[in-house]
Amino acid sequence: MSRLTKEDQEKIRQIVREELDRLAKNRSINVYLNGEKTASVPLTEAEENAVPPESEKPAEEASAQEEAAQEEKPTEGAYGKEEEAAPAEEEKPAEEAAPVEETAPIEEQEAPVPEEKPTEEAPAEEEKPVEAAPVKEEAAPVEKAEPAEEAAPDEEEKTPEETKEETPAEAKEEPPASQEEVKPQTEIIAAPKNVATAKVPGKYEVFAEAGGYKYRLLANNGEILVVSNTYKSSDGAHKGIETFRKNVENGVLKFYTDKNGYSQFRLFTANDSRVLVYGEFYKTLQGAQSSFDSVKRFYRNVNVIDVKPEDNKTPAREWEFTPSVSASSEGGKLELFVEGGKWKGRLLANNGQTLFTTVNNYYDKNGLLQAIALIKKLALEQKDAIHTEMDKQGRYQFVLLGANGPLVLGESYGSKDAAESAANSTLSFLEKAKVIDTTQAAKEAEASPADKPE
């Protein structure tokens, strides 16, 4: 540190004397920055008591002079005491107070600000849980209501339905690999009782085809959703529309998967005895289910149009079949089986391939046997009873028609020729087919003794 000159020392003494003099008169303390007065702070009572009144000034001055004299001695003393003069420079920190102007503290405050930001962020994170805590407490009832929002029960209820539908589908697809004719026939699903009205355009069309009349339901984009069976008159087709509407709500809905893995929906009367309509074939069970969902959207439509033959621009989808069988064949089988609590029958060729399955359901074995007798009579004696149909997917099947609709539906094929070939095979094996009661055979197998005599 540099040594104070006599001038500097004298200046310091002068300032001290002036300040002491001012204290005695004004009873306040002046604040200086860089040598300039910036404020005057009044003395407190304690400070006033500590400062002698003006009458005692001479004593103060004397003491001040003595102190000054004592300060001069060390200043003039040995060089090694220069460090004691340093405090004088440290008193100049009035200049060092300049940092106050430089707002060093402000910088220091600014510096902490970023440091405080993380601190603020941390509380922010802590506040979130704090807010969440009351929410949870308030949400206690909400959590009780959450099951309803999550609809876990509903989803669980829906899931089993889907599972039930998919499982049979898989079961239906698996058997063909080993035994196609034993493929599960149908998946039963009750038609919805309260189907919501779909306020969307669409229409029914009544038209002539294959020697009779039919109706078809179209979506608003013109897509064909379902085509009815053949009626003898236009009036019969119009009445069929009313019957169809009622059974969409109250009938029995089933999904059938054929030996080739294609699925279609089949809508039966409320007593599950007679099929009313059947849908298009789809590669998956889900596709067949979606097609019926579309039917539910448009079936209530009251717009019914009679299409004249010359105005019918839709390609034909049904043709009368002309048989080409010369003689009956041996080795066919007519299997009687129970499905969904109802009796049904299927015709197998000599190679085990399924040729057809009865489409309607019968309450007992006798009812089924009577139906089989009628099927044989119509197929073998009434040659125009068999028709070939095509759906919008390009799948073909033959149909044996009775007085009230189809009695037999063949499997689906990728070409009309294949479907007609199956129809010819049916005529070939049907007459001499051996009737086998699979339910009785199963009972006999169960009743047979396990330990037969050697």
pLDDT above 80: residue 74:
no
In whole angstroms, give the CA distance from residue 41 to residue 23.
11
Query: Tokens at residue 264, please?
Result: 């279609």
In whole angstroms, give the CA distance from residue 292 to residue 297.
9
The DSSP letter of residue 215 is E
In whole angstroms, give the CA distance from residue 259 to residue 12.
118
pLDDT above 60: residue 417:
yes
Please enumerate in sequence order all residues whose Cβ is within 8 A of that of 34, keeping only pairs 6 or more positions apart, or say none.
Answer: 94, 95, 97, 98, 101
- Average pLDDT of the residues of the chain: 73
pLDDT at 318: 92
Q: How confident is the model at residue 95 (pLDDT cuts 50, 70, 90)?
A: very low
Q: How confident is the model at residue 57 (pLDDT cuts 50, 70, 90)?
A: very low
pLDDT at 201: 75
Q: How confident is the model at residue 326 (pLDDT cuts 50, 70, 90)?
A: confident
Please enumerate in sequence order all residues whose Cβ is within 8 A of that of 159, keeping only pairs 6 or more positions apart, or say none.
Answer: none
352 three-class SS: coil
Contact status, residue 313 vs residue 410, Cβ threshold 8 Å:
no
Average pLDDT for 84-101: 42
Q: How confident is the model at residue 32 (pLDDT cuts 50, 70, 90)?
A: low
**Alpha helices for 349-404 (secondary structure H):** 365-381
Average pLDDT for 363-372: 95
pLDDT at 38: 61
Rg (CA), the chain: 53
pLDDT above 80: residue 348:
yes
pLDDT above 70: residue 54:
no
Average pLDDT for 40-44: 65
Q: Could you read off the pLDDT of 197-227 as tens digits, one per residue? A: 445 678 999 999 988 999 999 999 999 999 9
Please report, rounded to a whole number, the percentage of residues in the chain having pLDDT higher than 70. Answer: 58
Q: Could you read off the pLDDT of 267-285 as tens digits, one per residue? A: 999 999 899 999 999 999 9
Domains along the chain?
Answer: 6-102 (no CATH), 151-312 (2.30.29.80), 317-454 (2.30.29.80)
pLDDT above 90: residue 75:
no
Tally of CA atoms within 13 A in the half-sphere of 338 that contains its CB: 11
Confirm whether pTM is higher than 0.85. Answer: no
Q: Considering only residues 49 and 72, tell me which one the structure prediction assigns the higher pLDDT.
A: 49
Per the rule left: phi > 0, alpha: psi between -120 and 50, beta: everything else, 261 is left
